[in-house]
Amino acid sequence: MDVLADCEQTSPKWANLFQDVVDRLRHHGAGAKAPRVGERFPDFALPNEEGRYRTLYEMLGDGPVVLSFNRGGWCPYCRRELADWALHSSKLASLHARFVAVVPEVDGRLAILRDLLGGGAEVLCDVDHGVALRSGLAFRSDPELRRRYLECGLDLREIYGSDSWFLTVPATFAIDRSGIVRFAFVEPDFRLRADPGEVIAAFS
Q: What is the pLDDT of residues 68-116, one digit of tens each?
A: 999 999 999 999 999 999 999 999 999 999 999 999 999 889 999 999 9
Judged against a pLDDT cut of 70, whether residue 41 lies above it is answered with: yes
pTM of structure: 0.92
Tens digits of per-residue pLDDT, 110-148? 999 999 998 889 999 999 999 999 999 999 998 999 999
CA 82, chain centre distance (Å): 9
Q: Looking at residue 7, what is its pLDDT? A: 58
Q: Looking at residue 11, what is its pLDDT? A: 59
Q: Which of 104, 192, 140, 132 is nearest to 24 (CA)?
A: 140
Residues 6 or more apart whose Cβ sits within 8 Å of residue 143: none
Answer yes or no: are the C-beta atoms of 170 and 78 closer than 8 Å: yes
Tens digits of per-residue pLDDT, 152-197? 899 999 999 999 999 999 999 999 999 999 999 999 999 999 999 9
CB atoms under 10 Å from CB of 10, counted, come to: 10
Give counts: helices (H), strands (E), the chain: 10, 9
Q: Looking at residue 13, what is its pLDDT? A: 72
The whole-number average pLDDT for the span 37-52 is: 96
> Backbone dihedral region of 64: left (phi > 0), alpha (psi from -120 to 50 degrees) or beta?
beta
Question: Parallel, antiparallel, or unpaired for β 171-175 and 181-186?
Answer: antiparallel
3-state secondary structure at position 102:
strand
At position 42, the amino acid (one-letter code) is P
Q: Looking at residue 4, what is its pLDDT? A: 58
Q: Looking at residue 1, what is its pLDDT? A: 39
CA 94, chain centre distance (Å): 24
- For the chain, the distance separating the N- and C-terminal CA atoms, rounded to the nearest angstrom, is 40
Judged against a pLDDT cut of 90, whether residue 3 lies above it is answered with: no
